[in-house]
Structures are given as structure tokens and as C-alpha cells.
Amino acid sequence: MPVTERATGLSTTELAILGLLSYGERSGYDLKKAVEAGVGYVWTAAKSQVYAVLPRLVADGYATARRVAQERLPDKQVYRITPKGERAFREWLEEPVEERSGVRSPFLLKVFFGAKMNKEALIAHVERRRDEAARELAEYREIEQQIRDDPRSYFGYATLRWGLAEARAWIRWADELLRELRERP
């Protein structure tokens, strides 16, 4: 299960950052914010990783950096994607996705070992998962209201729809299992 599946020696995180840079120049800080606000559902990175990745992109010619002085605020480095960066990103974008085989869910792992714990603990786990999914669903529905008619968000909305579908599927799955567990002796 490679997290990497690189096209050109770039990690997926590097490519995600290149993708964000392809919309215009950004600082590390901006990128971290952009991730949290946008792609966050689909890809995350720790801030220290963002700062680690950017100089590497510059060193390899995928981006350039420029120091910008600010009033009252510390200087910042602003990064811009290069044609080489655009090309690498585009190539990666269009090449087929490596299938992820192996889901790696600590939650499902616990359910799998359900026979080894007492029933109440298991029920509590499933209830938590259900509540979490319900919370996510509410959150996604709010975002949906904001972006559903904005054509610029079309693809973000497509991924959001997966989030909505998944959250609903979790809720149905959990409800069914909870009903069963409560009926069981």
C-alpha cells in the first residue's frame, strides 16, 4: 500500500501542493490554510511537512520562491509553480490511480475483534462512529449549500458528494449493526 505512487519522484503531498500552486502563488502559510479550507477532506499535511516540501520543490525546479516583506508582519516566502511543475502535475493528474488495497481503519479493526470485548464497549464504539458520521454529514451539508451552485466548485462538489454518500452509508451501517447488537443475547 504505497502512500507515494509517484509519477516523477514526487510524493502525493508534493503533487497536491503543486496542484494548489497551479492556482496562483502562495506562501507556506497560505497553503496550509488552503488545505484546511479546501482539499482537506481529500488530502492533509502537517504544517511542518508543508514547510519541508516547498524548498524541495524549489530545489528540483518545480517551483520558485520569492521573499516578500510585509508591514507589521514577518516576511514571507511566496512560491510560484514553474512550467516543469505544471507539467509534472498534469502528468500525474492524468495517469491512472494506483489502487489502494488495504483500508487501515482502526475502527473497523476493533469491530473485527468485537468478540473479544464486552458488548457495551462495542456498542459505544459504533455509536461514536455513527455520531461522528452524523456530525460530518451536517458539516458537509452546510458546505453543500455554499458551493452547489458555484460552477467554480464543481469538482470540489463532486468530491464532497462522495463525503456525503460515505457519511450516509456509515449512518445506515451503524444503525443496522446497533439494532442487531441490542437484540442479541
Binds a second copy by CB under 8 A, chosen from 148, 162, 175, 179: 162
Which three cell numbers mark 114? 468485537
Residue 76's φ and ψ, nearest 5 degrees, are -135, 155
Binds 48, which of a second copy, DNA, none (CB < 5 to 8 A, cut-off by type)? DNA
- C-alpha distances (whole Å) from 130 to each of 112, 122, 175 are 17, 12, 8
Are the CB atoms for 7 and 92 separated by under 8 Å? Answer: yes
What does the angle CA 89 – CA 144 – CA 24 come to, to the nearest 5 degrees? 30
4-33 positions binding a second copy, by CB under 8 A: 5, 12, 15-16, 19, 22
Is the CB of 79 or the CB of 157 nearer to a second copy?
157
Binds a second copy by CB under 8 A, chosen from 9, 83, 102, 185: 102
Q: Which residues bind DNA (CB under 7 A)?
A: 1-4, 6, 11-13, 27-30, 33, 44-49, 51-52, 54-55, 70, 72-78, 102
40-99 positions binding a second copy, by CB under 8 A: 40-44, 89-90, 93-94, 96-99
Binds 49, which of DNA, a second copy, none (CB < 5 to 8 A, cut-off by type)? DNA
Nearest-approach distance from CB 55 to a second copy, in angstroms: 22
* DSSP collapsed to 3 states, 139-152: HHHHHHHHHCCCHH
Q: Residues interacting with a second copy, by CB under 8 A? A: 1, 3, 5, 12, 15-16, 19, 22, 38-44, 89-90, 93-94, 96-118, 121, 124-125, 128-129, 132, 154-156, 158-159, 161-162, 165-166, 168-169, 172-173, 176-177
